[in-house]
Amino acid sequence: MGERIQKIISAAGIASRREAEKMILDGRIRVNDAIAKLGESADVSVDKIFVDGKPITPKEDNIYIMLNKPRGYITTMSDERGRQTVLELTADIKTRIYPVGRLDMDSEGLLLMTNDGHFSNRVMHPSGGFAKIYEVCVVGDVETATQTLRFPMDIEGETVKAVSVEVVNISQGGGVLRIAISQGINRQIRKMCAACRLKVRSLKRISIGKLSLGNLKSGSWRHLSKEEVDSLK
Number of C-beta neighbours around residue 163 at 10 A: 13
How far lies 94's CA from each of 79, 87, 101, 187, in Å?
Answer: 20, 11, 21, 31
Task: Assess contact for 13 and 60: CB atoms under 8 A.
Answer: no
Query: Residue 59 has what pLDDT?
Result: 67
CATH-assigned architecture of domain 64-127+210-232: 2-Layer Sandwich (3.30)
On the question of a common fold for 3-55 and 64-127+210-232, the answer reads no
CATH topology (fold) of 3-55: 3.10.290
User: Of residues 43, 79, 92, 104, which has the active-site annotation?
Assistant: 104
Number of alpha carbons in the 13 Å side-chain half-sphere of residue 119: 21
Residues 6+ apart with CB under 8 A from 45: none
Give yes or no: 104 in active site.
yes
Separation between Cα atoms, residue 73 and residue 188, nearest integer Å: 19
Query: Residue 101 has what pLDDT?
Result: 86
Instruction: Give bridge partners of residue 4 from the DSSP assignment.
Output: 41
Query: Residue 9 has what pLDDT?
Result: 87
Rg (CA), the chain: 24
Sign of CA dihedral 157, 188, 90, 117: negative
Instruction: Give bridge partners of residue 41 from the DSSP assignment.
Output: 4
DSSP state for residue 32 in the 8-state scheme: T
Separation between Cα atoms, residue 33 and residue 148, nearest integer Å: 70
How many angstroms from the chain centroid is the CA of residue 113?
5
Query: Residue 150 has what pLDDT?
Result: 94
CA angle 54, 29, 55 (to 5 degrees): 25
Separation between Cα atoms, residue 120 and residue 112, nearest integer Å: 9
Beta strand pairing status for 34-35 and 174-181? unpaired
Query: Residue 218 has what pLDDT?
Result: 97
Query: Residue 58 has what pLDDT?
Result: 67
CATH topology (fold) of 131-208: Alpha-Beta Plaits (3.30.70)
Kindly list the domain boundaries of the chain, sorted by start residue: 3-55, 64-127+210-232, 131-208
Beta strands in the chain (DSSP E): 3-4, 29-31, 34-35, 41-42, 49-51, 54-55, 64-69, 98-99, 108-114, 132-139, 153-155, 158-160, 164-171, 174-181, 199-208, 211-212, 221-223
pLDDT digits (tens), the chain, 233 positions? 688 999 888 877 788 888 899 999 999 999 999 999 999 999 887 899 999 999 987 667 889 999 999 999 999 877 788 889 999 999 998 888 889 988 999 999 999 999 888 888 888 877 777 899 999 999 999 999 999 999 999 998 899 999 999 999 999 899 999 999 998 788 999 999 999 999 999 999 999 999 999 999 999 999 999 999 999 88
Predicted model pTM:
0.75
